[in-house]
Structures are given as structure tokens and as C-alpha cells.
Amino acid sequence: MANRLDRRFAELRSNNEGALIPLSPGDKAPFATSMEIIDMFAEIGSDAVEIAVPTRFPWMEGKAMQTHQLEALEQGVSPADSFKLMEVARAKYPDLPLATINFMGPVLTYGQANYVSGCKRASMDAVDIPDYPFVSRDDPLYFGSELRNNNIHFVIDVTTNLAVAPEGTREYKLLCGLIQHSGGFLFMIAQAGGVSGTKDSLPVDTLKPAVERVKMLEGKFHINTPIIVVCGISTPEQVHNSIRLVGADGVMLGSAISKRLQAGESLEHIQPFAKSLKDATKV
Amino acid sequence: MKFTQDSIYLKVKPELDMEFGKFGGMYVPDPFSPVLEDLAKKAIEIVQTTEFIENRKKVLNVLDISIPEITKVGDIKDAEVYKIQSPVFPLILSGYLALANILDRTPSFAASDENKLDMFVRSAEFLGLKVYVALDKRLSQKTALVEKLVKAGHTVDSKKCVELFDDPILYAFQYFISNINNALYVPVDANSGPYPFPSLTVEFTTGFKKVLEDIAAKQFDNKLSALLACAYPGTSAVAAYRFCDDCDTRLISVEPAFEFDRNDCYCGIFTKVVKVGEEERILCPELVYSWETGEVDRVFADDFTTALAAMEIKGKVLVVEGC
């Protein structure tokens, strides 16, 4: 069976449409809050949903996402709870591409084999573990290969700095390796240090040459991995510009929705905003 | 006696390729690896220069740190007990601050102990460095302390540990990674961080190994029956045990009883977390590894005296005070 993400991106490309990939925090069974959020994301037409597994050292997360992580840990949410949530979401949305985000430490704490089998049980489409050195250390624990052998994409991250590395440098070699190993989609990260959080303006001047360079190299290697911008996007205009001005294939966002949830806004109130973000991928 | 050039000179080329695992190295995303490799390459060159040694000596002098001396405690059962204060904290601190000064980077420090914070700030200021400090919840509430640091031109984070995770190490590391070309993480209390930090931390403690080797030879005629050190976080213990790589001395870590002991991820490293009283404590991964391999005995007691009283040790015993 083809990976749902691959199918979804093929459809999006034929419709000249970008992807919206929002992030859902997790809670404990019966997942009252998180399933409501995932339902909302599905209703507005999200192209994939990322489900976060809480960690106690979220060093690439900004304030909004850390707040979610902290709340989840205080509620006692464990990786086992998060995998159960993924299974529940999968049962309800058999065709919706699902990805999960976590860090390598908790993967090892939970057990790499348990982690992979949890992803298999929920029929996840991609795993985003940003701190696993899949390319620079040549898949040291065979984690990436194991996931891919199970039809689960391992998400590759590229920063805007790395994307414009001059030819002949070590950075360029790494960039080429990352592109060649990419699958599902590839994250283009614009923040310093990769730390998440909403931004007032989209750094088009930084993102555009980075995306163009990666697309050029993808062409060179006969690869067509969609590029998803991650840079604190929080408005429909930023979504639109990421796709139409920057040339990305979609956007991923977490803090924009999380900040509203944490400010006490109801999902009914947030839904039109979330819908406007998805609509901006079509214009 | 002051630390001499010989006692802080790193004769051994640091092994800057420690992996995630027993030494505590954490993984970082692929795009960060070239920058960290560059930092490692520069650090290897710098730690062997005269300029680096002079910078370290300046820090040790301003902190008035001398080579620790042995004092006799007395006899406990059949053991003749001596003690020595661990100099590991100032040794590591002086290493990172000297490196930050030469690299012209902002040292990034996690503070949960006011005395250690004072040592860090005084040393950095002596070298003319402005610093980033993440304060834990308790220190964040000390308004005068925060104001003093800000007034001195330092960058102080006194909100995150109050509003989010009460974990200054998280924010000190995050500051470093967000300013990866201009900042330098200073992992003093936990041997944590990505390549090359665990290796650098280990190297900076080698002065203590040399002191112990000297003491063992001169004062104990190399006949030391046991070496006891505190387990939390274990940086001093590991530094002390290293001098015994080829000797028959029994190595013992001492820790109070704990509520739970779990494998966990902390500071991005895979290690053990124990809960003692109300506090969760993080163990140095290398110490955990040495328990698992049987190189070090794990003993539970509230203090060294109680530990020794409960054990059958004959001969000379050295207790390393300070964690």
C-alpha cells in the first residue's frame, strides 16, 4: 500500500494546492481534548496531522509547545498514551496521513523497538525525530531504516543556512545527503536553533533561496520530496506566501493553534481561523 | 598549593567523538553537526595552547582554588579514613570559561545553586565576559540577585523556569543551540550535551586525576583500599575513579535511599533519574555505566561515615567530598 502522505502530496500537486500540517498535543485516554483537536483539523481539510509525544526536555520547542508538553507530563501522559491516541485517530481517520514528533531520548526510554511497533500499530505515515542524526551519523541505530522498512517515512530537516551551503563544502555534502535520504516530506526550518514559536513576519528573503536551492538539488538527484516550511507561521497570509512566494509545498504549524488554546479560546472559535489557514494553501 | 601548569595541561588529546550512551552525549539534528564539528576542531587546538592554560589559571586564581589537600578523618572499624574536597566544579568551569574567552563566545550557564552561580559570574567577569544565565525557579524569585546580574550587563532568564519547566539546563542549552555560532554551553553539574561537550567536560577534570595519582603514590604508597565518592550527579565520582584505571582500589559510590529509580531521558541524554525526597536527581551516564559493568559498587547510605560503618573495608580509604 502506498504511503498516505505520498498519495496526498500527489493529489495536492495535481490541484496546484499546498499542504497544511498542524500539530496536535496529546492527553490521556479517552483523549477528550486531543481527539477534538484532531477532529477539527480533519474537518477543515488538513492534509496531514502531527501528533506530539510529550518529553521532559523539549529543547527545540518554544513557549507554546513547551506549555503543552508540561501540561501533558503533569497529567501523566506517557508515550504509551500517545501511541494509543495515534491508534484511536487512525481508526477514526483511516485515510488521513498521520505523523508523530518526538526526540530521540524518549524513543530510547520507551524502547526503539516498542516505538517502531507503536507506529506500525497506528499505521503512521511519518516519524519526525529531529535530533536523530540519520544522515550525518549514517543511521547509527538503524532507526530510520527500520521505520522505512515498515513504510513509515523518516522526516528529514534542513535549515535555511544549510540549504544555501556553497558547493564543495562539508555542509554542501551533508545537504546533498539529506536530500537524497528524504522521503514523505522534508522540513525547511528557518528559526535560529530550530526552536519553535510564532513569528510576526515570514522571512521570505531567507526561505525563498533555500527552497529554490533544495528544489534544484532534488531535480539533480531525480527526487521530488515535498518541502514543508516550519518557521512560526501564524497567519493565512504567511501560509499563502510560504507556498506562492517562497515556493514551498506546504506549511507545518503548532504554536499558532496552541497559543489560542492556551489563551482559553474554544475549538469552535479556533476552527474558522484554522480553516482560513487551510484555505490559504489553495489560493 | 596552587594548580600548576602541569596539573591543568591536557596532555592527552581529547577524544571528541563520544557517542550517545555511556558518556552522556546527546544527539543533535543533522544540520547542526557541521557547526559542532567545527567547534570540536577548534577546541582540540585551543585546549593545548598556552593562552588557554593561562586563562584557566586566572580563573582558578580568582576563585582562590588550590590543589586540594588530604586530611585524616579517623578510623571507622578497620578503615583508616582520609578525605579530600573535589575540585571538579572549578576545574570544569575554568576550562569552559577559558574556551569561551578565546573563542569570544557567550558562556551559557544553568544556575540552581547560588554559590556556584557566584563562582561562575565572578570568573566570567574577571575574564571580561558577558554571560547568559538561566535561573531555576527558586533563584528566579531572588529579585536582588536578578537585578544585580542584569545591571552588570548579563543576559538573565528568570521567567522560563517559573512559567515552564523548572529546568535551567534546558534553557541554558536552548540558548546555546539558538546562538550556536556565538554562545558556549557550560555543562558543569551534569556531563551533558552533544559532541564535543561530554568529552571536553571529562578532559577538564583530568587535573583531579593527576592530583589523586600524586596523592596515592606519595601519601598512600599506592596502597589505597577504597575510594568513596558521592553519586549525584556523579561527575566528581567519575573524575576520581578515573585515576584508578589500573589499580586494585575498590571504587564505591554513595547515595541516600531513593523513592524510585527509572531509566529516563534528561538533558537529551539517556540516563537514570532518581527521586530523593522532593527532588529528582540526574545521574551521570558514565557512573550508571560503571555500575552496570561492575567497576563501581553502588552503596546506599545518608553519608560516608554511615556507609563505611556498614562495610567491611580494611586499610586506607579516601573519601571525595563534594559532588
A264: alpha, beta or left, given left = phi > 0 and alpha = psi -120 to 50?
left
Burial of B105 (0-12, 13-18, 19+ CB in 10 A): buried
Chain A residues close to B270, C-beta within 8 Å? 105, 108-109
- Checking if the pLDDT of B1 tops 80, the result is no
Chain B residues close to A171, C-beta within 8 Å? 34
Separation between Cα atoms, residue A104 and residue B27, nearest integer Å: 7
Tabulate helix, strand, coil % of chain B (nearest 5): 40, 25, 35
Residues listed for chain A: 283
Q: What percent of chain A has pLDDT over 70?
A: 96
Separation between Cα atoms, residue A212 and residue B214, nearest integer Å: 61
* Interval B10-54: pLDDT, tens: 555 555 555 555 556 678 889 988 999 899 999 989 998 999 999
The alpha-helical segments, DSSP class H, found in chain B are 5-8, 33-46, 50-62, 88-103, 114-126, 137-140, 143-151, 160-163, 168-178, 197-204, 206-218, 235-241, 285-292, 304-309
So what's the pLDDT on residue A94? 97
So what's the pLDDT on residue A182? 97
By C-alpha distance, the chain B residue nearest A63 is B164
> Which backbone phi and psi does A126 adopt, to 5 degrees?
-155, 150
Confidence of residue B4 (pLDDT cuts 50, 70, 90): low
Q: How many contiguous H segments (helices) and E segments (strands) does chain B have? A: 14, 13
Q: What angle do CA A146, A147, A152 make, to 5 degrees?
A: 155
Confidence of residue A155 (pLDDT cuts 50, 70, 90): very high
So what's the pLDDT on residue B278? 74
- Checking if the pLDDT of B242 tops 90, the result is no
Mutate which: A53, A56, A102, vs B, most B CBs within 10 A: A56
So what's the pLDDT on residue A200? 72
More confident site: B188 or B154: B154
Q: Region A85-109: what's the mean pLDDT?
A: 92
Chain B residues close to A159, C-beta within 8 Å? 31
> For residue A227, what are the β-bridge partners?
A186
Confidence of residue A30 (pLDDT cuts 50, 70, 90): confident
Q: Region A81-93: what's the mean pLDDT?
A: 96
- Checking if the pLDDT of A118 tops 60, the result is yes
Q: How far apart are the first and last CA of chain A?
A: 31
- For residue A60, CA distances in Å to B48, B170, B315 come to 33, 10, 51
Contact across the interface for B29 and A131, Cβ inside 8 Å = yes
Chain B residues close to A108, C-beta within 8 Å? 265, 270
Q: What is the ipTM of this complex?
A: 0.89
Beta strands B79-85; B315-321: pairing state: parallel
Sign of the alpha-carbon torsion through B183, B184, B188, B194: positive
Q: Region A130-136: what's the mean pLDDT?
A: 91
Nearest C-alpha neighbor of A21 from the set A54, A64, A51, A50: A50
Residues listed for chain B: 323
Q: What cell was used for A133?
A: 542524526
- Checking if the pLDDT of A181 tops 90, the result is yes
* Interval B171-188: pLDDT, tens: 999 999 999 999 999 988
Summary mean pLDDT of chain B: 87
CB of A28 closer than 8 Å to CB of A75: yes
So what's the pLDDT on residue A197? 64
Q: Region A13-41: what's the mean pLDDT?
A: 92
Q: Region A166-186: what's the mean pLDDT?
A: 97
Chain B residues close to A157, C-beta within 8 Å? 29-31
DSSP A250-270: EEEESHHHHHHHHTT--HHHH
- Checking if the pLDDT of A126 tops 60, the result is yes
By C-alpha distance, the chain B residue nearest A193 is B178
- The reply to whether B21 touches chain A by the CB within 8 Å rule is no
Nearest CA distance, B34 vs chain A (angstrom): 6
Q: Region B53-68: what's the mean pLDDT?
A: 91
* Interval B111-151: pLDDT, tens: 999 999 999 999 999 999 999 999 999 999 999 999 999 99
The lowest-confidence range among A25-34, A76-85, A228-237 is: A25-34
Burial of B90 (0-12, 13-18, 19+ CB in 10 A): buried
Q: Which of residues 26-65 of B touch A (CB under 8 A)?
A: 26-31, 33-34, 37
Nearest CA distance, B28 vs chain A (angstrom): 4
Separation between Cα atoms, residue A65 and residue A196, nearest integer Å: 8
By C-alpha distance, the chain B residue nearest A109 is B264
HSE, side-chain direction, 13 A CA sphere, residue B76: 20
- Checking if the pLDDT of B306 tops 80, the result is yes
Contact across the interface for B177 and A195, Cβ inside 8 Å = yes
Contact across the interface for A171 and B29, Cβ inside 8 Å = no
> Which backbone phi and psi does B261 adopt, to 5 degrees?
-140, 110
Chain B residues close to A55, C-beta within 8 Å? 265
So what's the pLDDT on residue A229? 95
Chain A residues close to B27, C-beta within 8 Å? 104, 131-133, 137
So what's the pLDDT on residue B22? 53
Q: What cell was used for B240?
A: 576520581
Chain A residues close to B165, C-beta within 8 Å? 56, 58, 66, 70
- Grid look-up 537529551 returns B268
By C-alpha distance, the chain B residue nearest A169 is B34
Amino acid at the residue B182: N
- Checking if the pLDDT of B59 tops 60, the result is yes
Q: What angle do CA A267, A269, A275 make, to 5 degrees?
A: 85
Collapsing DSSP to helix, strand or coil, B2 comes out as strand
More confident site: B44 or B247: B44
Nearest C-alpha neighbor of A129 from the set A152, A96, A162: A152
Q: Region A29-46: what's the mean pLDDT?
A: 92
pTM: 0.90
Residue A269: CB atoms within 10 Å: 10
A235: alpha, beta or left, given left = phi > 0 and alpha = psi -120 to 50?
beta
The alpha carbons of chain B give a radius of gyration, in whole angstroms, of 19
Collapsing DSSP to helix, strand or coil, A192 comes out as helix
The lowest-confidence range among A50-64, A91-105, B13-27, B111-125 is: B13-27
So what's the pLDDT on residue B271? 72
Summary mean pLDDT of chain A: 92
- Checking if the pLDDT of B2 tops 70, the result is no
Contact across the interface for B265 and A55, Cβ inside 8 Å = yes
CB of A49 closer than 8 Å to CB of A20: no
- Checking if the pLDDT of A60 tops 90, the result is no
Q: Choose among A105, A109, A136: nearest Cβ to B30.
A: A136
Separation between Cα atoms, residue B150 and residue B170, nearest integer Å: 21
Nearest CA distance, B92 vs chain A (angstrom): 23
What is the side-by-side order of every strand in the sheet holding B279-282? B260-266, B269-276, B279-282
Q: At what angle do helices B143-151 and B114-126 cross, to 10 degrees?
A: 10
Separation between Cα atoms, residue A132 and residue A103, nearest integer Å: 8
